[in-house]
Every structure is written in C-alpha cells, then in structure tokens.
Structure 1
Amino acid sequence: MSTESRGPGPLRALAVLWHPDGAPARPRGLTRDRIVAAAIALADADGLGALSMARLAQRLGCGTMSLYRHVTNKDELVTFMLSAAPGPPPRFGPGIGWREAVTAWADGLWEVYHRHPWVLQAAASGPPADPGQLAWLDAGLKALEPTGLSEREKLASVMAVLHYVRGAAALDVAAGEADPGFADLLRRFVDAERLPAVAAALSAGAFDGATGGDRERVTDFRTGLALVVAGIAARAR
C-alpha cells in the first residue's frame, strides 16, 4: 500500500479504476492493462525515476502519442500501477487466529515492497483510494475483527502495522544496496560518550544484521513485527 497526491491525473485514474467502461480489449492491441504491466516491469527493473512515457512507448513498440489514448499522463499511470502491482491480499481461513492473520498480512506487504521497491518511492500525501490498495486495507481490518477493538482502533492498528512494514522494507531495500561495511564505518566514528545508546547497539552487534544475509534481515523484521502485534494484543485485552 502507498499514499499519493490527488492531481487531475490520479483523480481521473480513480474514476476509471472504480467504474471501468467494460469495453472488450483487443487481444493483440495496445490496452491500458498492457501499458500498466509494462510500466510496472520497467519500474521494477530500473526504478520509478527511469519511467517515462517515451521509454515506455519504446518498450511496447509503439509511438508515445499512442499511450495517451489510454493514459492521460505519468501521474495517472502511477495511480494505475499502484492499484495493480500489489495483487490480491492474502485470504485467511476460518480457523486462523487474528495474530497469525495480521502477521501473514504484514508478510504479504513485505513481499510486495521487495518485488516492487518503487512503490516505496511513490509515497506522497493522502490515503490510498484505488481498489487495489483498499483491498489490502480491507483485508487488514478483517484480520482484526476478532480483537473486539473499535473500528477506529482497528484502523489505527492496521496503520501502525502498515507504517512499520513500509519503514522496515525501505530500510531493508536500502541495506541491500549499501556498503556491507556500514557497521564497521559507524564504529570508526561513534563513541559511547557522545552517542551512548547507538554505541551500545553497535557493541551488541545490532547493526551487523542490517547489511547481513536475507535470513538475518527477515529475522529482524519479524522481531519488530512481533512487538507491534504484541502492542495491539495488549490494547485488545
């Protein structure tokens, strides 16, 4: 899930997403779905900054102006991409507990952000309003139904989990691109007198996992997630 600004492009895109015209698509013709899929693939490979209408047209083998018959501008395109990229949210069986459901929901978001790191870059202001991202929000709220929390408390809880996952994923993606000697670099400059808490974390090896292997990084993510879920459980009680 992400947040985005509300310019003319995104507003028109939301209208299209919520009320599609239902016109049959030509199997081999240029369609909005083909354009969005190609844009997602391009952003996955090279980042959102590399996405342009000209480059997208080149990838699709068409003229740039042909894209504008289906997409008004890049802002509208990004709205379509944000709705499509996450895919459907996880479904929970009747026997699963709410803690397991929330954890599975968070794990699903973690995977979305790692499959599509550009989604993290697309954040701006205002809550998501497209059907794709709202389906994830709906699933998160449903997972919390057995807690007995009020609707406002459930929404606050879901947003707490969402913001944790987004932040952890952003740090993890950045760590994957960082110098593996980051912890050693900090040890060169951080001293216990000036930054005692950071120095203690360094001494305990807490920063070593930030650029460690996948297993260590996922373990750190799960540890933080368990703390967030424990906080929700305390509120529910």
Structure 2
Amino acid sequence: MVVMDENELPRVLQQLWGIEGRSRPGPKPAFHISDIARAAIKLADAGGLAAVSMSKVAAELGFTTMSLYRYVDAKDDLYVVMLEYAFAEPPVLDPALDWRGRITAWAEAFRDGLRRHPWILQIPIQDPPLSPNQLAWMESGLDAFDGTPLAPQDRLSAMLLVNIYVRGTAQLTANMLTEPDEVREADRLYTQRLTMLATPDRFPGIAATLEQPLDEGYAGDFDVAEFTFGLNTVLDGIHTRITRQTP
C-alpha cells in the first residue's frame, strides 16, 4: 500500500484507489466503500437521486448516519462512489474494428449505463473524473481513436464530443416511459395530437415530417434509430477532421 498525506488526495478517492491515508480515530471500519455504493445505488434506482441521503444510506446498511462519515465527508463524495460503481469498467473494444466501430461500441455502452441508472444524469458535474473506473472509461474512449492522425488533445475533444452527445440524448429520453407498449401508445397519441395542432399553414416544417412515412429502421425502434442517426452525424464530423489530417 502507498501511504500519503490525505490532503494530497480526497479521502474518498484514496479508498477507491486502495491508497492508505492517515487512519481516523474510532472503531475499525465495519463495511467497505463498495457496500455504501450498492446501498446508495439501490435507493437511487428505486426512487431517483432525491431518494439518496446519508441517513437513508446508513439505514439501508443498518448503521448510524455518523458511521458513514468514516468513509465519505459529504454527499458529493457519495456521488463519486455511486458513479464509480454504477458504471463499473468500460467495455472491451474489439481491436479488429476501425476507430468508428470502436467509438460506436463505447458510446452504446455509455448510453446503456445511463439507461440502467438514469439518475446519473441528475448528478451535477463539478469536477473532472478521478476515480478508477471513470478514468478507465476516459482511457477507453481515447483508445478508440488509435491509428488515427488525431493529436492527443484532439482525441480528447472528439471523445468528449461523443460523451456530450450521448448524455444529451439520454437526458431527453430519461423521463420517457420504458415499456414498449406504453412507448408505442405514447408515440401514437403524440403524433395524433401533433397532426391536429401543427397545421401546414402555421408549422409547415413539422407538418412535412408528419406526412413523411417512417422508414424501416425508425419503425422498428424510434429511440435507437434517432440515437444512431445523431451518433453517425457526430462521427461524420470527426471523420472529416481525420480525413483533413491524413497525409
């Protein structure tokens, strides 16, 4: 174990990295930081981020609220722990794929993680990622661009662009119904009402989209088709940049 001054790294990150800082007075820890993560994630999955509090997490573990402060100093630290364990490790990208196939697989895995735990989108982004799995996701996204002429900073910018796109689309659909039959009924009702209100004389652009039948891809899964269309458009832009830099 590496011993370091706790002032050099927040205590919650020391625990996530397995770094031993100065021990605090009191009884020996009764549980692991991962136990806190599982309890908090369970509460968030059931009731959203608002359902998570230090007292509720402690109750879920069967301990007092004060006992949690041996592990996390504040609720923001609790969020760090939740993110670390909710996402877990990034996907293993197939080296046989080209950069576009690899970053697509990365983006889809990121999207799936947000769908499993939509409360992640409610956590405010205050600091860059520093926990093990979060950095592993970043490294994986950068690795997707191996073999391209993009400079390291450009690879980071391209990865962040894909990240922002995935988060944005996930945010738009986070509160939508998830049951297929309910989604189809909601889509049908929305289309019906939109047809009544968006008349060609007042909203010609919207009306034109209603007159155009959905293609096979959209008819199968509108959400997936929209995600794929947007992602491909983003990757087209990155491809153009790569092409310009290719000798």
Query: Normalised by the size of structure 2, how large is the TM-score?
Result: 0.77
Q: Using the alignment, how far apart are the partners of 2:53 and 2:141 within structure 1? A: 33
Q: Does 1:225 find its partner at 2:226?
A: no
Aligned structure 1 segments of 4 or more residues deviating by more than 6 angstroms: none
Q: Secondary structure at 1:145's aligned position in 2?
A: coil
Aligned position for 1:70: 71
Distance 1:124 1:191, change over 3 A: farther
1:40-67 deviations in Å (ceiling 9; x for gaps): 1211121101111122122222222222
Q: Using the alignment, how far apart are the partners of 1:138 and 1:60 within structure 2? A: 33
Aligned position for 2:240: 234
Aligned position for 2:195: 187
Q: Using the alignment, how far apart are the partners of 2:156 and 2:208 within structure 1? A: 35
Q: Using the alignment, how far apart are the partners of 2:210 and 2:175 within structure 1? A: 19
Contact 2:34 2:85 in 1 (8 A): no
Q: Secondary structure at 1:141's aligned position in 2?
A: helix
Residue 125 (structure 1) shift: 4.0
Q: Using the alignment, how far apart are the partners of 2:105 and 2:112 within structure 1? A: 11
Q: Using the alignment, how far apart are the partners of 1:16 and 1:59 within structure 2? A: 21
* Structure 1: segments with no counterpart, 5+ residues: 1-7
Aligned position for 1:21: 20
Count the aligned residue pairs: 221
Q: Secondary structure at 1:149's aligned position in 2?
A: coil
Distance 1:195 1:11, change over 3 A: farther
Larger Rg: 2
Distance 1:30 1:14, change over 3 A: closer
1:42-96 deviations in Å (ceiling 9; x for gaps): 1112110111112212222222222222222211101111122111111223322
Q: Using the alignment, how far apart are the partners of 1:45 and 1:96 within structure 2? A: 37
Contact 2:11 2:72 in 1 (8 A): no
- Higher RCO, 1 or 2 (CA under 8 Å, sep at least 6)? 1
Residue 172 (structure 1) shift: 2.3
* Structure 2: segments with no counterpart, 5+ residues: 1-6, 24-28
Residue 233 (structure 1) shift: 1.3
Residue 194 (structure 1) shift: 4.1
Residue 162 (structure 1) shift: 0.8
Q: Using the alignment, how far apart are the partners of 1:216 and 1:130 within structure 2? A: 35
Residue 119 (structure 1) shift: 0.8
Please, which moves more after superposition, 223-232 or 32-41?
223-232
Aligned position for 2:4: none
**Identity value in percent:** 38
Residue 159 (structure 1) shift: 1.2
State the Cα RMSD in Å. Answer: 2.9
Aligned position for 2:209: 201
Aligned position for 1:4: none
Q: Secondary structure at 2:147's aligned position in 1?
A: helix
Distance 1:31 1:165, change over 3 A: same
Query: Normalised by the size of structure 1, how large is the TM-score?
Result: 0.80
